[in-house]
Amino acid sequence: MPATKEKVATIKQEIKFFEGPQSRWQNFKYTVSVFFEFIKGFRALHFVGPCVTVFGSARFKEDHEYYKQARKLSAEIARLGFTIMTGGGPGIMEAANRGAKEVGGKSVGCNIVLAHEQHRNPYLDKWVDIKYFFLRKTLLIKYSYAFVVMPGGFGTLDEFFEALTLVQTQKISMFPIIIFDKDFYKNILEHNQKMYEAGTISKNDESLYLVTDSIPEAIAYIKEKSIRAFGLKYMQPQKAFPVFFEKGIKRISQSFHVHE
């Protein structure tokens, strides 16, 4: 039987609520800090051109098969003319940036400032150090026309599902998402199926990503879903604006621009 208004009012009077942080000054300082981090990121990455972001663990060494796969795949993506973007750290991120550099492509990184594990890899043409994870994810997504999800941990899954959610809810365009290594992500894909059976996602949501172990298949998917779908074309390098103190990044002759 539903509670009466008088009973609800009595219950509210009996409950003692916890006091939360209410410092307006702290909130203001946090807001200003976030604002300047965004400006720093936007200025640093303004000239990177259309990117493909590669997500993956920081913990794999160069002799690991996952590192080798990321290096090869990123090299092929760079040959298409895309800038390779990563979280800027070691492991899969290093492998992706390294693959791009080895074929004459461009590589950039959004490095997260951590007390351990994360440090910039030596294969970056340009990078920016970011204090906040949510802001870093925004930058990794903002400049990219495709996302490659290599084997990784909590951070990689966080990045994967955020990109997937943004595409699913049409908060960003239908950029392709590639899950690389079927065996590693087998249980995640099974859980996706379980969510579908429970009615929490739609059947069509499975079409939002490609699951593959094939580099040629991944490249063909990016060509179809990124280059052709968004009308990307080759362009000449753009000039920096001295009034904004921009140094820019010299684009390779095969960098892309969206055809208006």
Select from 118, 48, 138, 42 the least CA-distant residue to 84.
48
Per-residue pLDDT of the chain (260 residues; tens, 9 = 90+): 566 666 666 666 678 888 877 789 999 999 999 999 999 999 999 999 999 999 999 999 999 999 999 999 999 999 999 999 999 999 999 999 999 999 999 999 999 988 775 689 999 999 999 999 999 999 999 999 999 999 999 999 999 999 999 999 999 999 999 999 999 999 999 999 999 999 999 989 999 999 999 999 999 999 999 999 999 988 666 666 666 566 655 444 344 443 32
Q: Residue 26 falls within a domain, yes or no?
A: no
Q: Residue 154 falls within a domain, yes or no?
A: yes
Q: Identify the pLDDT of residue 257.
A: 41
Q: Residue 114 falls within a domain, yes or no?
A: yes
Q: Residue 1 falls within a domain, yes or no?
A: no
Q: Which domain holds residue 170?
A: 51-232
Q: Residue 256 falls within a domain, yes or no?
A: no
Exposure letters 99-118 (e unless 16+ CB within 10 A, then b): bbbeeebbbbbbbbeeeeeb
Q: What CATH number is given to the structural domain containing 137?
A: 3.40.50.450
Taking the C-alpha atoms of residue 53 and residue 39, their distance in angstroms, rounded to an integer, is 20
Q: Residue 30 falls within a domain, yes or no?
A: no
Taking the C-alpha atoms of residue 162 and residue 174, their distance in angstroms, rounded to an integer, is 13
Q: Residue 121 falls within a domain, yes or no?
A: yes
Q: Residue 226 falls within a domain, yes or no?
A: yes
At 28-67, the pLDDT tens digits run 999 999 999 999 999 999 999 999 999 999 999 999 999 9
Number of domains in the chain: 1
